[in-house]
Amino acid sequence: MRILDSFATGRRSNLEVLDGVELVEGDIQSYERAHTAVVGCDYVLHQAALPSVPRSIQDPLTSAAVNTTGTLNVLLAARDAGVQRVVFASSSSVYGASTALPKREDMIPLPISPYAVSKQAAESYCRAFSHVYGLECVALRYFNVFGPRQDPQSQYAAVVPRFITAALTGNRPIVYGDGQQSRDFTYIDNVVDANLQALTAPNAPGETFNIACGERYTLNTLLTLISDITGVTIDPEHRQPRPGDVPHSQADITKAKRLLDFTPAIGFHDGVRATVEHIASQQPAASSAQ
C-alpha cells in the first residue's frame, strides 16, 4: 500500500494505525509526485482534496487547482502507469440548487459554490478518461461524512466534530441559520465499505454513485442527540446562513445498492455515539469533568 499526502489538511498521526504503508509526501498538483505514488499500482483510491465550501468561496482559484487540476494529474499519472481503476471521492455538493429530494445521480448538477464546481469538473474528467483512454473510473458522491479523527479545530471543520467538541468543552456551538437545515450524515465506515466495493464492482466503471444512508436529520436533531449522549445542555449560537450552503440534502442510494452491493452498516445514531466517544477520549480533562 502506498499513500500520497501533502498534509495540508491531514495529520501524520492518522497513519500510525496502518502497517506496511509506503508514504510519498507531496501534492497532487505535481504530476511527478502523483506518478511516483501510483506507479506499480492496480487500483487508486483518490481521496485527496481541498475541502470546505466556505474555503472555496474565499479562495476559488486554489480549490480549482487542487480539486480539479489535481484530479487531472492523478488521472494522467494513473493512465500512464497502467493503473486498472481509479475511485474518485466526489461530493453531494454538486447537486447544489436543486430542491428535489432525494438526490439521484441522473439529476442535472446545479453547483452553487466553487467547491462544488471543482468536484463536478473532476467528475467529468473521470468520465472522459473512462471513455477516451479506457481507464476505469468510478465517482462516489459523499454525503456529509463524519467520524473519528476528523479535525474539530479547523475553521473549516465539519459540523459533527465541531458540535461535539463544543459540547465537551462547555462552549456554544455555532449554527448558521435556524438549525432546520437537514443533511444525510454518513459515518466514515460506510464510506470505506463503498470504496472497497467500488474497486471491483464489474458494472461501476464510468458511473457515479451517491454514498450515504438515504436518511436526513436536521442540525437541531444532531444537537439534541449530542446533548443526550454527553449529558450536556447545549445552547447554540445562531448566525446568518452562509452563502453556498444548501438547505436540505438526502441521497437516493438505490444505484449504489444495485451496482456496488452497497448497504450502510452504521446508522446516524450509532455513528454519532462512536464519534462522541472518540473525541471524548482525546480530551481526558473534558471527559472526566462530565
Per-residue pLDDT of 93-106, as tens digits, reads 999 999 999 999 99
Average of per-residue pLDDT across 151-173: 87
Which among 215, 150, 194 has a CA at the least distance from the CA of 13? Answer: 150
How many Å apart are CA 65 and CA 44, to the nearest integer?
20
Average of per-residue pLDDT across 237-266: 95
Query: Is pLDDT at 175 greater than 90 in this prediction?
Result: yes
Query: Is pLDDT at 185 greater than 80 in this prediction?
Result: yes
How many Å apart are CA 255 and CA 71, to the nearest integer?
24
How many separate domains does the chain show? 1
Average of per-residue pLDDT across 16-34: 92
Predicted local confidence at residue 155, as pLDDT: 63
**Look-up: residue for cell 468536484?**
119
Per-residue pLDDT of 149-158, as tens digits, reads 888 877 667 8
Which helix (H) or strand (E) segment holds residue 142: the answer is: strand 136-142
Predicted local confidence at residue 288, as pLDDT: 40
What CATH number is associated with residue 231? Answer: 3.40.50.720
How many Å apart are CA 224 and CA 184, to the nearest integer?
16
Up-side HSE of residue 192: CA atoms within 13 Å toward CB? 8
**CA torsion, ordered 54, 60, 63, 65, to nearest 10 deg:** -170
How many Å apart are CA 283 and CA 281, to the nearest integer?
5
In which domain, by residue range, is 200 found? 2-288
115 belongs to the catalytic site: yes
Q: Is 25 helix (H, G, I), strand (E, B) or coil?
A: strand
How many Å apart are CA 87 and CA 64, to the nearest integer?
19
Q: What is the mean pLDDT of the chain?
A: 94
Predicted local confidence at residue 287, as pLDDT: 40
Per-residue pLDDT of 254-287, as tens digits, reads 999 999 999 999 999 999 999 999 999 987 554 4
State how far the alpha carbon of 117 is from the alpha carbons of 93, 123, 189, in Å: 9, 10, 27
Active-site annotation holder among 115, 125, 187, 217: 115
Predicted local confidence at residue 15, as pLDDT: 86
Residue 7 phi/psi, 5° resolution?
Answer: 60, 30
Could you give the percent of the chain with pLDDT greater than 90? 85
Predicted local confidence at residue 119, as pLDDT: 98
Average of per-residue pLDDT across 99-117: 96
Average of per-residue pLDDT across 23-45: 97
Predicted local confidence at residue 221, as pLDDT: 98
Q: What does pTM read for this prediction?
A: 0.93
Predicted local confidence at residue 156, as pLDDT: 62
Query: Is pLDDT at 13 greater than 70 in this prediction?
Result: yes
Query: Is pLDDT at 200 greater than 80 in this prediction?
Result: yes
